[in-house]
Amino acid sequence: QPLPYNTVLHPGQTLGILGGGQLGRMFCHAAQSMGYKVVVFEPHMASPAGSVAEYEVVASYDDEEGLTKLLDYTNAVTTEFENVPATSLKYLSMQARVSPSAAAVAVVQDRIAEKAFIASQGIDVAPYAEIRTLADLEQVPTTLFPGILKAARLGYDGKGQARVKTLDEAVEAFKSFGEVPCVLEAMLPLKKEISVVMARGFSGDVVTFPVGVNTHINGILSSSVVGIESISSIIEQKAKDAAIKIASGLNYFGVMCVEFFILEDDSVVANEIAPRPHNSGHYTMNACLTSQFEQQVRVLAGMPLGATDLLAPTIMLNILGDSWFIDSQEAKEPDWDKVLALPGVHLHLYGKAEARKGRKMGHVNIVNKDPQQVLHYARQVSEILH
Ligand code: ADP
Ligand code: MG
């Protein structure tokens, strides 16, 4: 039988996480610092999370034997990866607490279901059409061009997407994706991108983190800025309200992120949902009273949620593998000593064996009471790493 929601798991017990990437690794660190043990379930050996967890099960996500083995270690499982098959979450949920639930993750892992769900909650999304066949594509209104064709499943960091100016380009892109189900979205004039990271506990209690402004380069998050660039409190509240509505509509328990676009006319459009901590919430590790990963631990354990106050203005900068190839063809370790010489800079590296261009290797949080100092040191970090 799964754990009743009101059962609290105390430190010393073992929590489970599906996925062994950097998000899983930071979950492990948060859990371990509170005295929990962690079991990581991940298909590959020597993963960022697997190498720091107390226990590890290496198996593919749909391997029942592996999932059963996971249940030998723990009766509470969360995820760091939205593409875990919903059937596997369902299987685990017969014997364990699984948060977020299979049903919630199933909606979020399919852009078609996700967009329809968000719109059903009365929240604006970009104008879009579901594309399942070439015939669907040939019928889309011309107002969706220029647009972005996005594969419904398994996209991340701008992968599985094509910017298309015309129907002909869209047809070509759809074919190159292998005619898998897609959404075609109108390209919107973005003024800013923001995200709301929040946590919802088993009693329906909700906390939201301060809203950060995100910048992307080549479809990959590059930076999040919090407490410096002002966003109007009306926009911030609108985004938070929408995120909370989405979470309660999904009957969601856990940490969730909703990405929003702010358009030229200040309207707020929901882009996508992540059923887990998010890259744009990494700033919380050094800038908030509770980090997004500690919050994930607290929800899963049935503990009270932590306070989310911002302690100081902060910039989070992602570190990609490109920083290993600044002036050489062969991978060379960046000048970490120079980075760490700057005040208020916190380095987080994910323990990935090989640096590759475009691969997320870590991030730095630059924290300072004075927003001008944050900007100043962020520029210096960028100069060292780029
Ligand atoms: P991913 O899963 O790769 O994060 P997103 O849907 O968030 O996919 O798209 C990645 C980025 O592409 C967004 O952060 C935004 O910068 C840009 N983008 C996506 N959709 C649109 C759109 N409809 N209009 C303008 N820009 C968009
Ligand atoms: Mg995104």
pLDDT digits (tens, 9 = 90+) for 116-162: 999 999 999 999 999 999 999 999 999 999 999 999 998 777 678 99
Element at 246 (helix H, strand E): helix 233-249
Domain end marker among 186, 211, 234: 186
User: Do 360 and 228 share a domain, yes or no?
Assistant: yes
The verdict on 174 and 204 lying in the same domain is no
Clarify whether residues 178 and 201 are in a common domain: no
In a domain? residue 107? no
Report the domain count for the chain: 3
Does the beta carbon of 145 sit less than 6 angstroms from any atom of ligand 1? no
CB of 271 sitting under 6 A from ligand 1: yes
89 & 166 share domain: no
377 within some domain: yes
In a domain, 177, yes or no: yes
Domain contains 112: no
Centre of ligand 2 from the C-alpha of residue 282, in Å:
15
Q: How far is the CA of 157 from the centre of ligand 2 (A)?
A: 7
Position 117 scores a pLDDT of: 98
> With a 6 A CB cut-off, is 219 part of the ligand 1 pocket?
yes
Work out the number of other CB atoms within 10 angstroms of the CB of residue 333.
8
Cβ of 272 less than 6 Å from ligand 1 = yes
Ligand 1: which residue has its CA nearest to atom 27?
A: 187
Provide the pLDDT for residue 230: 81
pLDDT of residue 219: 85
Task: Assess whether 196 and 57 both reside in one domain.
Answer: no
Q: Which of the listed residues 186, 210, 231 is the one where a domain comes to its end?
A: 186
**Same domain, yes or no, for 92 and 182?**
no
Atom of ligand 1 nearest to the CA of 188: 24
- Does the complex come out with an ipTM higher than 0.85? yes
- Token pair, residue 255, equals 């940490």
Same domain, 131 and 149: yes
The finding on whether 163 has its CB within 6 A of some atom of ligand 1 is no
Q: Looking at ligand 1, which residue's alpha carbon is closest to its atom 5?
A: 158
* Cβ(301)–Cβ(15) below 8 Å: yes
Instruction: Determine, yes or no, domain membership for 20.
Output: yes
Residue 35 is predicted with a pLDDT of 98
User: Quick one: which atom of ligand 1 is closest to the CA of 155?
Assistant: 2
Return binding residues for ATP.
Answer: 111, 150, 155-161, 185-188, 193, 216, 271-272
**186 CA: nearest ligand 1 atom:** 23
Which ligand is closest in space to the CA of residue 157?
A: 1
Tell me the CATH number at 132: 3.30.1490.20
Ligand 1, atom nearest to 111 Cα: 6
Atom of ligand 1 lying closest to residue 189 CA? 25
Domain of 356 in residue numbering reads as 190-385
Shared-domain flag, residues 176 and 219: no
Q: Is residue 264 part of a domain?
A: yes
7 within a domain of the structure (yes/no) = no
- Angle of helix 64-73 relative to helix 86-93, nearest 10 degrees? 40
* Domain end position, chosen among 142, 167, 186: 186
Q: What is the DSSP letter of 35?
A: T
Query: What residue owns the CA closest to ligand 1's atom 8?
Result: 158
| 164 and 281 both lie in a single domain | no
Are both 295 and 209 inside the same structural domain?
yes
What does the DSSP 8-state code read for residue 182? E
CA atoms lying within 13 Å on the CB side of residue 221: 25
Same domain, 36 and 132: no
Distance CA 201, CA 302 (A): 7
User: Which residues in the chain come in under a pLDDT of 50?
Assistant: none
Mutate to test the pocket of ligand 1, among 114, 190, 271, 278 (most ligand atoms within 8 A of CB): 271
Ligand 2 centre and the CA of 112: distance in Å?
Answer: 15
**Does residue 152 share a domain with residue 173?**
yes
Cis peptide before 100 (omega within 30 of 0): yes
Ligand 1 neighbourhood includes 216 CB (under 6 angstroms) = yes
Count the neighbouring beta carbons within 10 Å of the beta carbon of residue 341: 11
For residue 276, report the distance from its CA to the centre of ligand 1, in Å. Answer: 18
Q: Find the CATH number of the domain harbouring 80.
A: 3.40.50.20
Nearest residue (by CA) to ligand 1, atom 9, is 158
Q: Are 63 and 39 in contact (CB under 8 A)?
A: no
Q: Are 39 and 53 in contact (CB under 8 A)?
A: yes
206 belongs to a structural domain: yes
Ligand nearest to the CA of 218: 1
